[in-house]
Amino acid sequence: MLTKKQFDLLVYLTEQTGSQSQRAMAEGLHLSVGSVNRVVKELTQQGLVCDGRITTQGLEALEPHRVRRAVLMAAGFGSRLVPITLNTPKPLVRVKGVRIIDTLLDALVAAEIPEIYIVRGYLKEQFDQLLYKYPMVQFIDNPLYNEANNIASIVCAGDRIRNAYIMEADLLLSNPRLIQKYQYRSNYLAIPVERTDDYCFHLENGFISQVAVGGVNCYQTVGISYWTEEDGTTLVDHVKEVYQAPGGKERLWGQVPLVYHANDYKVSIRECTLEDVVEIDTFQELKNIDPTYAM
């Protein structure tokens, strides 16, 4: 089984062309040359790296970490973006000529994610237009989108959340490299901030230990996460359990692994920046980003 550093180095080499020096590896991975030297020696002895390149055996070693699917939650009303969303689901709203959801789908296609599911509800037929550009997309209908929180969408997705990205479909993604072909462990994208009034994470020993609304010196949440095969399998049952409990329909799905069953998961974060991904919450924010809506 690969260690995290071995995994990171192999993934780095899959993204490079030509042989890489250990100094280049160190710079690319933000590690010391000595640390890279040790990892390269380990991987070379196992036949996974040779002369600064990943071998066929190295690619095979990464295969268990390859992301197999993605589930995009697109069922909601997008009420805070009225009047635009009166006739158009929020993920299909165009920003500077590009549909919001396209920024996510393009990144998933580039990362060669083989299965892509969109959970739809409000004005669901409008999502059919995506099939012209993305014929591989499969739809999951959420009939309870108007009476339950987003936990209902994850219930509808069922076991498709195993070895999968789970994404809010209304995120405007500026950095497609955040969607990677391989993942090592379950994680959330998050932005390190000094202060936020939004949902945020606090860490302990590198893993999420607390979820709060507002905080200082924390990580502001981003609605993109990844769940391993093992964690995703467990999460399917836990989501159903919480959903069927009194008041369960009102829960956010992320509360299941991070609050109600926090002791059953070890979830890390992947850092990103405010420029990498944006959730447009209000019509005014949309006008600020795309002035054509202000006319």
- DSSP string covering 53-95: EE-HHHHHHHGGGB--EEEEEE-S--GGGTTGGGTS-GGG-EE
Q: Check pLDDT > 90 for residue 175.
A: yes
Q: Where are the extended beta strands (E) located within 186-229?
A: 187-204, 207-227
What integer is the mean pLDDT of 188-200? 94
* Cα(190)–Cα(210) distance, integer angstroms: 13
Q: How many residues comprise the chain? A: 295
Confidence of residue 294 (pLDDT cuts 50, 70, 90): confident
Confidence of residue 281 (pLDDT cuts 50, 70, 90): confident
Residues of the chain by 3-state class (helix, strand, coil), percent to 5: 40, 25, 30
Kind and range of the H or E element at 34?
A: helix 33-45
Confidence of residue 226 (pLDDT cuts 50, 70, 90): very high
The whole-number pLDDT of residue 81 equals: 85
Q: Which amino acid is at 295?
A: M
pLDDT tens digits, 5-58: 999 999 999 998 888 888 888 998 999 999 999 999 999 999 999 999 999 999
Q: Check pLDDT > 90 for residue 78.
A: no
Ranking 131-135, 223-227, 284-288 by mean pLDDT, the lowest is 284-288
pTM of the model: 0.94
Q: Are strands 49-50 and 115-120 parallel, antiparallel or unpaired?
A: unpaired
